[in-house]
């Protein structure tokens, strides 16, 4: 009796111990990854051929002024000491002051990031809603004209430079047809009408009940989001097709068909169910790529997101802003990878 109770107690503890091991491993991996990211950004900030002191005081400043700012920035300390100070500041969310506007970089990032988040989220939703069904159909109908069309569409999405598609899209849909709004997030008339709550105009205008601002914001958002969504859709559809092709040749699919199960049930209840875990990782990576890789789209459409913020800072030699934005983007990428791993374990009990 005591032995049976001990076995039951051991079985209850095993999932908890497994969870602790997984959590500790994940945290250690995140810590090591972030330390490496901070080291890389710190080295970049030091090897760039830009003097941060001259960027602050100007080339005509006296030597006394230069030396004072040099010491104020801590550049007179050993490099390893500077690195530890840099880590302690980043952990506190302090990325320094922007040289462009003399505001904390963390405040600037908090102001511009919601614009990128809104753009990438809508693009990912478009990519998932179109890419997953397209990939499933292409995989099931492998070799058919539907499959060929889907592959060509995905190939164009991969091959065409997004800046070229953006310029053509603006010319046709905004300049000629007038179906969408132009560059920027809003027309000037609608700026600052609704209070900022989340920083995402669609949500803020919906909360405020101002549907004129909502429609205007959506007209500006739909074209750049569609371009990013097209890029995301190309990647998701190709991966979905590959996953489905692998499943459709499996023995359990043949067994299900022999039992008389409908083709619809075979595809969506069995084949798709077995690829959803893989799709979680694909979608998470696609989302992360849109969050960090929408620089050209934001520049073309004058979208005030983190991509255009980092680009402007780089061109202006504002290294505090560049490094701060880089760290934030890297942290988001790591967090999305952890989230996909957690969802992987939830949907696939075999991985626990």
Tens-digit pLDDT profile for residues 59-92: 777 778 877 877 777 777 787 888 888 888 888 8
171-222 pLDDT per residue, tens: 898 888 888 888 888 888 888 888 888 888 899 899 988 899 899 999 999 9
222-275 pLDDT per residue, tens: 999 998 889 889 889 988 988 888 888 777 777 877 777 777 888 887 788 888
State the pLDDT confidence band at 3, using cuts at 50, 70 and 90.
Answer: very low
Residue 344 burial by Cβ neighbours in a 10 Å radius (0-12, 13-18, 19+): middle
> Which region among 13-27, 85-99, 102-116, 187-201 has the lowest average model confidence (pLDDT)?
13-27
DSSP of 147-194, one letter per residue? HHHHHHHHHHHHHS-HHHHHHHHIIIIIIIS--S--SSSS-GGGTT-S
Q: What average pLDDT does the segment 151-170 reach?
A: 84
**pLDDT score at 1:** 46
The answer to whether 263 and 314 are in contact (CB under 8 A) is no
Q: What percent of the chain has pLDDT over 70?
A: 88
The answer to whether 140 and 130 are in contact (CB under 8 A) is no
**pLDDT score at 20:** 64
Q: At residue 9, does pLDDT exceed 60?
A: no
For the domain 106-351, what is the CATH code? 1.10.3720.10
Cα torsion 308, 156, 285, 87: sign? negative
Residue keyed to tokens 């039951």: 8
167-184 pLDDT per residue, tens: 888 889 888 888 888 888
The mean of the pLDDT values for the chain is 81
- Residue among 62, 75, 86 nearest 327 (CA): 86
Q: Could you give the C-alpha distances from 130 to 103, 125, 137, 215, 266, in angstroms and in order?
A: 41, 9, 11, 23, 21
3-state SS assignment for residue 213? helix
Does the pTM surpass 0.85? The reply is: no
Q: What average pLDDT does the segment 113-125 reach?
A: 91
Q: Which two tokens stand for residue 266?
A: 């075979």
Per-domain boundaries in the chain:
2-91, 106-351
Q: At residue 348, does pLDDT exceed 70?
A: no
């Amino acid at each position: 009796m005591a032995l049976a109770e001990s076995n039951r107690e051991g079985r209850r503890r095993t999932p908890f111990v497994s969870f602790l091991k997984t959590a500790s491993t994940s945290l250690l991996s995140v810590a090591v990854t972030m330390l490496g990211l901070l080291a890389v950004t710190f080295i970049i900030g030091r090897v760039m051929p830009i003097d941060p002191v001259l960027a602050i005081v100007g080339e005509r400043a006296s030597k006394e002024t230069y030396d004072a700012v040099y010491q104020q920035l801590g550049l007179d300390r050993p490099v390893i000491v500077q690195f530890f100070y840099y880590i302690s500041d980043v952990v506190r969310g302090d990325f320094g002051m922007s040289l462009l506007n003399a505001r904390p970089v963390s405040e600037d990032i908090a102001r511009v990031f919601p614009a990128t988040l809104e753009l990438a989220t809508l693009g990912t939703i478009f990519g998932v809603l179109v890419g997953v069904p397209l990939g499933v159909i292409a995989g099931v109908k492998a070799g058919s004209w539907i499959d060929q069309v889907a592959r060509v569409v995905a190939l164009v999405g991969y091959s065409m430079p997004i800046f070229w598609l953006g310029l053509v899209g603006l010319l046709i849909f905004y300049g000629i047809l007038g179906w969408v709004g132009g560059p920027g997030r809003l027309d000037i008339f609608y700026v600052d009408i609704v209070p900022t709550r989340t920083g995402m105009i669609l949500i803020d205008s919906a909360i405020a009940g101002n549907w004129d601002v909502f429609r205007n914001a959506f007209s500006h958002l739909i074209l750049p989001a569609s371009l990013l969504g097209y890029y995301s859709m190309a990647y998701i559809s190709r991966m979905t097709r590959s996953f489905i092709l692998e499943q459709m040749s499996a023995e359990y699919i043949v067994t299900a068909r022999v039992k008389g199960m409908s083709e619809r049930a075979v595809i969506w209840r069995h084949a798709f169910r077995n690829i959803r875990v893989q799709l979680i990782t694909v979608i998470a990576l696609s989302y992360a790529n849109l969050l960090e890789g929408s620089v050209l789209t934001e520049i073309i459409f004058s979208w005030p997101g983190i991509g255009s913020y980092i680009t402007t800072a780089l061109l202006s030699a504002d290294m505090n802003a560049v490094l701060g934005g880089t760290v934030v983007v890297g942290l988001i990428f790591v967090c999305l990878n952890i989230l996909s791993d957690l969802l992987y374990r939830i949907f696939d009990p075999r991985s626990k």
